[in-house]
Amino acid sequence: MASRTGRISLFSFVLILLIAGTVVMSQRFFPYYWDFWQMKEITKTTARTWKILGRQVADDKLATMIEDRGLSEYLDSSFCDMVDRSRGVYVHCSWEVDVYYPFSEKIKTLAFQTEHFQSLDD
């Protein structure tokens, strides 16, 4: 990476900047996408719990799982709709998060939604 004179080449400098930028952006945005993946599992578990144990137990399970996974900072069980359909149960959750770009005043709104339908026949 260093040239024979001991200086860093332009390529090395640009590469270091790209890596640093990727790390900063990942630290800013990745946690919200990680939470999305966790909510996909929570939504599925809630639908299955509703099918097996009933709506009230599923409501309680949803709130507990959100709290236990540390998502309650900006997520709430009220962001989820639970609909009883003729052939099964349907759970749909949607939320938005405003995230500041590093070193600026610009905001990026991230919108997420998860859903799961659990057939009564399964």
Task: List strand residue ranges (DSSP E) for 1-56, in order.
Answer: none
Distance, in Å, from the CA atom of 74 to the CA atom of 95, rounded to the nearest integer, reads: 9
0.85 exceeded by pTM: no
pLDDT at residue 55, as a whole number? 92
What would the pLDDT profile of 17-55 be if each residue is shown by its tens digit?
Answer: 888 877 777 777 789 999 999 999 999 999 999 999 999
Domain ranges of the chain: 30-119
Task: List strand residue ranges (DSSP E) for the chain, in order.
Answer: 80-85, 88-100, 107-119
Q: 54 burial class (0-12, 13-18, 19+ CB within 10 angstroms)?
A: exposed
